[in-house]
Amino acid sequence: MSTYQATVSAPVNIACIKYWGKRDTKLILPTNSSLSVTLDQDHLRSTTSARCDPGFEKDALWLNGKEDEIKPGGRLATCITEMKKLRKEYEDQNPNEPKISGYSVRIASENNFPTAAGLASSASGFAALVYALATLYKLPSSPSQLSLIARQGSGSACRSLFGGFVAWEMGTSVTGTDSFAVQVAPAEHWSDMHALICVVSDAKKGTSSTSGMQRTVETSELLQWRIKEVVPKRMKEMQKAILDKDFDTFATITMRDSNQFHAVALDTDPPIFYMNDTSRAIVAMVTELNRVSVENGGGLKAAYTYDAGPNAVIYAREKDMKEIVNMVCHYFPLLASTQPYEDRFKLFSAGEKVGE
């Protein structure tokens, strides 16, 4: 048998400190560090199979059942080429291993949630692609090493190689060797941290993350303030908040960073609007919930965050989640009734690492 095959799944991650801007568009080197929570794989995941065989004429990829073009020099081609290089090195060091690095690969991937709708499909998608090839090739690479390659598929993908709380350190080198993901804390560290996904719209976004952030880099003055003065401080404060399990600080930074990211999108010329009226109404609901809680002597209960799309992710502790779900159902009955409940609101705990 000369066909080799591996199948893996990778989870999405939702950033609390957002990546938005590249200093190098080819290598995908960011203008700021970022930090996210990887969700568990029970609901939102990419499942990817990779095969290689001497009979395959060219590399090919199917996404959700449709063949996707692998453009020479494009992101898919870069990831596949880099993984083949790692396999070649492995074969050189282990002469008894089969020489498969020269074979073409066929990859099939499915997302079990809306693709390109602001729910981080590029993150789980490229993490699953890289991890599927690493498994196929039996590579001993660490998650951080693989994150260097996943990063070149989609920046946010580098963070999905780890479970739990994950930082993507922007690095300073021009070659990108120090721009990779590291785990801040495993999911078990803060196991009552949950995320509620409210699918406001599953439509494909009008402006892709890639083109949107490039336009922001070219036109927004506010972005310069954000990357120099705001994010470095927030990265430090957020890592401490996670290690201390300090929900008030975690929630405050998460909401403020989401707001600043969308402000920077608005400061782009022409402006980009990712949130809609429903997104803003969910912000108001969470704000009110937190205000009442603080007024009664408690702390913050929930933190909203929005990626490049209108869909809300609400981080909260397990003890408060029931109240939050009831509130969303009460104030957004349409959101709750237009699709089966399970497809609209998904409850997560922070997840395991890719492949588990």
Q: Which stretch binds ligand ADP (CB under 6 A): 82-90, 126-134, 258-266, 286-294?
A: 126-134
The amino acid sitting at 232 is P
Q: Give residues 156-185 in contact with ligand DP6 (rule: CB under 6 A).
A: 156
Work out what residue 125 binds among ligand ADP, ligand DP6, Co ion, none; the CB cut-off runs from 5 to 8 Å by kind: ligand ADP
Give me the least distance between CB of 162 and Co ion, in Å please: 17
Tokens of 191: 């196991």
Tokens of 42: 């029970």
Give me the least distance between CB of 19 and ligand ADP, in Å please: 11
Give me the least distance between CB of 154 and ligand ADP, in Å please: 6
Listed in sequence order, the residues at least 6 apart from 340 whose beta carbon sits closer than 8 Å to its beta carbon are: none
Per residue, the 3-state secondary structure of 323-334, as one string, reads: HHHHHHHHHCHH
Dihedral angle over CA of 333, 338, 341, 342, nearest 10: -140
Residues 193, 350: Cα–Cα separation, whole Å: 7
Give me the least distance between CB of 82 and ligand DP6, in Å please: 16
Listed in sequence order, the residues at least 6 apart from 330 whose beta carbon sits closer than 8 Å to its beta carbon are: none
For Co ion, the binding residue among 34, 41, 160, 209 (CB under 5 A) is: 209
Work out what residue 119 binds among ligand DP6, Co ion, ligand ADP, none; the CB cut-off runs from 5 to 8 Å by kind: ligand ADP
Q: Which stretch binds ligand DP6 (CB under 6 A): 11-19, 53-61, 223-231, 343-351?
A: 11-19
Residues 52, 137: Cα–Cα separation, whole Å: 10
Q: Which stretch binds ligand DP6 (CB under 6 A): 128-136, 154-162, 171-179, 280-288?
A: 154-162
Q: Give residues 203-262 in contact with ligand ADP (rule: CB under 6 A).
A: 208-209
Residues 93, 23: Cα–Cα separation, whole Å: 35
For ligand DP6, the binding residue among 112, 210, 219, 249 (CB under 6 A) is: 210
**111 contacts ligand ADP (rule: CB under 6 A):** yes
**154 contacts ligand DP6 (rule: CB under 6 A):** yes
**122 contacts ligand DP6 (rule: CB under 6 A):** yes
Listed in sequence order, the residues at least 6 apart from 93 whose beta carbon sits closer than 8 Å to its beta carbon are: none
**201 contacts ligand ADP (rule: CB under 6 A):** no
Q: Which residues bind ligand DP6 (CB under 6 A)?
A: 15, 18-20, 28, 34, 120, 122, 154-156, 209-210, 307-308
Q: Which residues bind Co ion (CB under 5 A)?
A: 122, 209
